[in-house]
Amino acid sequence: MARTRYASDRGLTSRMLVTMFLLGLVYVVFVGAFFVFVPQWAFVALAIAVVFLMAQYFFSDRMTLFAMHGRVVTPDEAPELHGVIDRICAMSDAPKPRVAIADTDVPNAFATGRNQKKAVVCVTTGLLRRLDPVELEGVLAHEMAHVAHKDVAVMTIASFLGICAGLITRFGLQMGLWGGFSRRSNDQNTGLILLAVVAASALAYAVSFLLTRALSRYRELSADRAAALLTGRPSALASALTKVSGEIARIPTNDLRSAQAFNAFFFTPALGRGFSVSSLFSTHPTLDKRLAQLSKISAELSRGV
């Protein structure tokens, strides 16, 4: 973690380290087996995956802002928003990130950038209209905790195995569709190897998907805790979470669908009515779990723990 006043959580940190270790273990086994059985594909798939990883790592701030139609604003353009960011920077001893606004009614916020020098914190106009200054401070402290914890870099690296496995699965399926199996009908061993590689790639993708989602949920809980302890107002963050979750349910379905691709970045996922977060492999913990953690922190602060 960067040298800031954001509190760490040993329990969450240990769970994240175990998750990262398991991801690395799956990656080593998968890549090692792949190089043994199909080395000519492995180099191509890894090369493409590395290009994607580098692009995501070095240009995540620009790509995310562009996709969300976010615009960097100056203190003259958004004095109140900059004022809240300045207060959080003063409390946390963190360098000030760039500040952006996305013109959408979906109430949300996100942080991106591979390090503190490249960090951008973006809020939507819908969020600014709905939250009071204290609630907004809690949300922005949460997002800046992601920056302090280097979450964008961590999640980018964690997603590398999924990218590799996904590409290899796609290559294998396309070869089958292009007649790869029929052309090699006289070579059953090659066909079986191809099938085995596709199956192993799909399995590796599924495992990495689950582990990455678990890591993302731990990161969200860690950011909630760090923000609550930094501001000393866990109730304000809980109020913002409740309000944003309730308001999102009122947003038109089409608007939600256009935003769901960025759920991993958001303060809270863009999900509509009747959508059960607990039934999916979510990037975020359930609202009840986040509120329970904040309630526990509030009780600890009131006792002076």
Active site residues per annotation? 143
149 carries a ligand binding annotation: no
Q: List strands edge to edge, sheet with 109-112.
A: 70-72, 98-102, 120-124, 109-112
Query: Is 82 labeled as ligand-binding?
Result: no
Instruction: Identify which of 170, 199, 169, 193 has the alpha carbon closest to the alpha carbon of residue 181.
Output: 193
In the block, residue with structure tokens 């995540």: 60
Neighbours of 3 (CB within 10 A): 8
- Single out the residue of 8, 7, 1, 12 nearest to residue 221, CA to CA: 12
Find, among 161, 110, 134, the residue nearest to 240 by Cα.
Answer: 134
Q: Is 300 annotated as a binding residue?
A: no
Place of tokens 């994607």: 52
CA pair distance 50, 9, nearest whole angstrom: 32
Instruction: Say which residues have a Cβ less than 8 Å from residue 71's Cβ, sequence separation at least 6.
Output: 65, 100, 101, 102, 103
Q: Nearest to residue 287, comparing CAs of 249, 233, 261?
A: 249
The Cα 6–Cα 139 span in angstroms is 14
CA distance 60 to 48: 17
In three-state secondary structure terms, 71 is strand
Q: Which amino acid is at 199?
A: A
**Binding-site entries for Zn(2+):** 142, 146, 220
Annotated binding site: 142, 146, 220
